[in-house]
Structure 1
């Protein structure tokens, strides 16, 4: 199993709230989230939540190969809840949450699960790239983030608008008409996107947090095929370096309005066949 992994926090010295790991025939990636500037109600924090959920999920996925990925995720959410529900307020609106991407290879097929706005990128033998992303958060966000995008990233006014936007998003989390993400409630796993792809049709499987996909889905200056080309030739570190270079060229968000000038960025690239 040939896996390359790179992860970089948004700012030096800042906690990285992404988590990614692989075991033989399986991989997971999670992107932790809270509400900017708000107390999470959790004494452990967002990075702890995503890493703990990710570790338990990878264990469940590999230990129970016949169990559906959504059930593995639900089991893992319940396990994390049991670890801190006596010490943390899990009913708090800003309680830690996380996107989830998980894959597991069987003898003939690759199972996948995607929940939240991280991305699974599949490459086939003809060089075609297929991106699987849960669009529900983006669809809800587009209705709410107009006032944020009108302001310069990093300005006090932008920070205040961003806090209001994220608070509004939290009110739509894990409910019909809103979006679904891993948090205290295992029911969210039922709403994940899942599927199966013939393993023999794939050359690579890549898991990316949204901080690593900005060149394509936020900035529009690259394609998924171009992303695969960079990963194949230079690896995940080069892809993240390219993202940081683009972000540095637009620090105020004038060209590409966004919530954060930089975000945690994580890439796990699994070469299925040479």
Structure 2
């Protein structure tokens, strides 16, 4: 297994996919709360949720993301479907810090995107990460979770110097029916992940990314074909460079200029990048 929050530019894991590039960049001088993990027949990205004050936990967000990633990796080569093993992984992390207040509505958590390939490619998205791929005919497909973006939200408050939704509002919508779902203390949230499969032979190039990169489409209006052209043709570093440049030039006040951003590009042998 490759575990990294930095960069991996080349190499080939054992199995059906070749790693073409993987990078994770912090959005500021604070520790990077994103993470990517790679194995012979699987890959995943995690985006730790920026911490709220008084979250009832003795551990920081990078600890939670690393612990969850490790727990997923321990199970992902087994027989369980991705949602089932994610539920087990959340429960396993709970067992590592039982003295923390896991019922706190803003207990540390993460969003997740994962793929596993055997006879088919399985994918899972929980929260605002994304899985995107291009098929042998050059058509693209994007799987993401837009439940957070679909919420009306609430007026932001200054919480420890960061503009955030009020805790009471988060408690009413996080891991709640009609709200949004993330990996935190509730293993049942895994059942709300978006999942699916695609024949492995149809996939040419695949991108896993956190919302620090999907800002290119969500915030800056770039079309997914353009983003995939850049990531698959020039490398994931070029895509991360672009989102940073656009953030530097963004005049909108009151929002986070840069977010932690992570991208993993896998190419499936026998197919040229299209």
TM-score (norm 1): 0.86
Contact 1:35–1:163, Cα closer than 8 Å, also in 2 = no
109-118 or 226-235: which moved more?
A: 226-235
Q: Kindly indicate whether the alpha-carbon contact (under 8 Å) linking 1:34 and 1:40 is maintained by their aligned counterparts in 2.
A: no
Matches of 1:161 and 1:98 in 2, distance apart? 18
Aligned to 1:163: 164
Q: 1:26 aligns with which of 38, 42, 50?
A: 42
Counterpart CA distance in 2 for 1:103 and 1:242 is 25
SS in 2 for 1:261: coil
> In the superposition, relative to structure 1, how do residues 44 and 196 fare at CA in structure 2: closer, same or farther (>3 Å)?
same
What does 1:63-78 correspond to in 2, within 5 Å?
Answer: 64=78, 66-78=79-91
CA-atom RMSD, angstroms? 2.1
Query: Within the alignment, does 1:15 sit opposite 2:31 as a pair?
Result: yes
Matching of residue 85 in structure 1 with residue 95 in structure 2: no
Q: CA deviation at 1:177?
A: 1.1
- Count of residues paired in the alignment: 253
Q: Which runs of 5+ in 2 are unaligned?
A: 1-16
Q: 3-state DSSP class of the match of 2:68?
A: helix
Q: Within 1, Cα distance between the matches of 2:90 and 2:223?
A: 34
Q: Is the 8 A contact 2:51 2:61 kept in 1?
A: no
The 2-side partners of 1:171 and 1:161 are apart by: 20
Structure with the largest fraction of helix? 1
Distance 1:236 1:161, change over 3 A: closer
2-structure distance, mates of 1:167, 1:10: 27
Match in the other structure for 1:247: 247
- Over 3 Å counting, the alpha-carbon distance change for 1:179 and 1:21 in structure 2 is same
Change (3 A) 1:48 1:161: closer
Which of residues 74, 89, 108 in structure 2 aligns to 1:59? Answer: 74
Determine if contact 2:105/2:170 at 8 Å carries over to the other structure.
no
Asked if 1:117 is matched to 2:128, the reply is yes
Q: 1:100 aligns with which of 112, 117, 129?
A: 112
**Contact 2:105/2:174, CA 8 A, preserved across alignment:** no
Instruction: Find the aligned partners of 1:57 and 1:200 in 2 and give their Cα distance.
Output: 25
- 2:246 aligned counterpart, secondary structure: helix
Q: Is the 8 A contact 1:31 1:209 kept in 2?
A: yes
In structure 2, the residue matched to 1:153 is none
Aligned twin of 2:208: 207
> Aligned residue for 1:272?
268
- Secondary structure of 1:177 counterpart: coil
TM-score w.r.t. length of structure 2:
0.86
Show structure 1 runs of 4+ deviating over 2 A: 156-167
